[in-house]
Amino acid sequence: MFYREAGDFKTTYADDSQTFPIKFDRYRYWAVLAFAFLVVPFIINDYWLNAVVLPFLIYSVAAIGLNILTGYCGQVSLGSGGFMAVGAYACYKFMTSFPGMDIFSVILLSGFVTAAVGILFGLPSLRIKGFYLAVATLAAQFFLVWLFNKVPWFYNYSASGQINAPERTVFGYAVTGAETHAWAVYLVALIFVVVLAVIARNLTRGSLGRKWMAIRDMDIAAEIIGVNPMTAKLSAFAISSFYVGVSGAMFFVLYLGAVEVGEAFGIGKSFIILFMVIIGGLGSIFGSFAGAAFMVLMPVLLKNVMVGQLGWATDLAAHFEFVIVGGLIIVFLILEPHGLAQLWRLAKEKLRLWPFPH
């Protein structure tokens, strides 16, 4: 009824290619943004921030990053954990070397450092494809974690081998360090997420996005119609790594505060982010959010039900989590390889016709 495109005529090509071609979607999008910026900061507390909201926001950025590489450009990466570590350690080095630098610049610079590392590890993609590349990205994962563990310069020779986020403020409110304001931390993360998501959307619907998708769908044909595979693949690696690096930096300074590389950014992290992208939907920005929400909320929910309600031991709940996540991955791949985003799309298609489906 309200959700329709009839009567909503497009008179320019610009109108036709906008992100939300349906009016109702546009209104909803602005409503969500308004709620996130104007309402949530007043109601958020430490529990909700750390258990749900912050991990969701940060993982969303990582999932968008991996989705650019895997979902749009078709290059499977199992090295996201390693690239998040690059972002986190770059962030730490910038913060300790330049105490005057503000937190936004630090996180952005960390992203650029990660992008450079991403290009380096993306070079093999010019020669090898598919599984070979997926396995090759594991090299990045293991090597990077080893590097941050073994070279003391990265953790400023601290005895514990950990890195700790020093305090930084925005307009006088602490956002990193020991004493932070939940709403301030939230807003910093939210600004990054919104800006990066909009940029990702713009890149993927423009000519760069088409180059990536052409490479993904058929690389040889793409090259023959004029896509330079080198720039297309390396730009995907660079931009994807930038996103993953930013999320790693935020994961460190905003969320954990203290990091031991093997624990925080091990191969398990790479898989979690990959799962977010699969469950959410390959090649969809919305899917990245949906996947991140799912993977963040599900363990919290399971824990609440099994430990909180049934009174089971936490390790039992943890095992169930593995079974459920693994099982869901398989079920999703069998039933809907395009993930939650596709379910959402189908629901919208139904809604568009409702209440007159014929």
Partner 1 sequence: MTMAETYQTPDGRTIGGQVMEMKNITLRFGGVKAITDISFDIREGEIRAIIGPNGAGKSSMLNVMNGFYHPQEGEVWFHGKKRGPMKPHQIAKQGIARTFQNIALFSGMSTLDNIMTGRLTHMKTGILKQAMWWGPAEKEETENREVVEKVIDFLEIQSIRKTPVGRLPYGLQKRVELGRALAAEPKLLLLDEPMAGMNVEEKEDMSRFILDVNDEFGTTIALIEHDMGVVMDIADRVVVMDYGKKIGDGSPDEVRNNQDVIDAYLGVAHD
Partner 2 sequence: MSAGFYYGTEVFLNGLMTGVLYSLVALGFVLIFKSSGIFNYAQGVMALFAALTLVGLQDGQVPFAHLINSIFGTQVHHFGWHLPALLAILLTAGVMVILAIVVERYILRHLVNQPDIILFMATIGLAYFMEGFGDLMWGSEIKKLDVGIPQGGNLWIEENTAFLGGDDFYGFYLDSLDIVAAVFAGLLVLSLVLFSQYTKTGRALRAVADDHQAALSVGISLRFIWVVVWSIAGFIALVAGIMWGSKSGVQFSLSLIALKALPVLMLGGFTSIPGAIVGGLIIGVGEKMFEFLIGAPFLGGATENWFAYMLALVFLVFRPQGLFGDKIIERV
CB of 323 to partner 2, least distance (A): 4
* 337 binding partner (options partner 1, partner 2, none; Cβ < 5 to 8 Å by kind): partner 2
Q: With contact defined as beta carbons under 8 Å apart, do 277 and 70 qualify?
A: yes
Tokens of 41: 């900061």
CB of 330 to partner 2, least distance (A): 4
Closer CB to partner 2, 140 or 253, in the complex = 140
Q: Where are the alpha helices (DSSP H) in the chain?
A: 13-16, 23-34, 40-43, 46-48, 54-66, 80-97, 103-122, 130-150, 182-205, 207-217, 219-224, 229-250, 261-264, 267-280, 285-303, 314-335, 339-353
For residue 247, the tally of other CB atoms under 10 A from its CB is 36
Identified binder of partner 1 from the candidate list 45, 202, 304, 314, rule CB under 8 A: 202
- Report the 3 state secondary structure along 18-55: CCCCCHHHHHHHHHHHHHHHHHHHHHCCHHHHHHHHHH
* 146 binding partner (options partner 1, partner 2, none; Cβ < 5 to 8 Å by kind): partner 2
Segment contacting partner 1 by CB under 8 A, of 80-88, 227-235, 248-256, 298-306: 227-235
CB of 337 to partner 2, least distance (A): 6
Does 226 contact partner 1 by CB under 8 A? yes
Tokens of 297: 């909320």
Identified binder of partner 1 from the candidate list 199, 328, 329, 343, rule CB under 8 A: 199
Closer CB to partner 2, 16 or 315, in the complex = 315
CB of 130 to partner 1, least distance (A): 16
| CA separation for the pair 172, 65 (Å, rounded) | 31
Does 130 contact partner 1 by CB under 8 A? no
Query: How many alpha carbons fall within 13 Å on the CB side of residue 249?
Result: 30
Identified binder of partner 1 from the candidate list 203, 234, 261, 325, rule CB under 8 A: 203
Nearest to 166 by CA among 39, 252, 281, 261: 252
Q: With contact defined as beta carbons under 8 Å apart, do 114 and 83 qualify?
A: yes
Q: What x/- string results for residues 3 through 22 when contact with partner 1 is judged by CB under 8 A?
A: ---------xxx--x-----
What residues make contact with partner 2 under the rule CB under 8 A?
76, 123-124, 127-128, 130-132, 134-136, 138-139, 142-143, 145-146, 149-151, 220-221, 224, 267, 271, 274-275, 278, 310-313, 315-316, 319-330, 333-334, 337
Give 173's strand partners: 170
Does 227 contact partner 1 by CB under 8 A? yes
Q: Is 175 helix (H, G, I), strand (E, B) or coil?
A: strand
Q: With contact defined as beta carbons under 8 Å apart, do 94 and 106 qualify?
A: yes
User: Taking every pair of C-alpha atoms in the chain, what is the biggest distance, in angstroms?
Assistant: 70
Closer CB to partner 2, 104 or 271, in the complex = 271
CB of 135 to partner 2, least distance (A): 5
Q: Which chain residues interact with partner 1 by CB under 8 A?
A: 12-14, 17, 199, 202-203, 206-208, 210-211, 213-214, 216-218, 220-229, 235, 239, 283
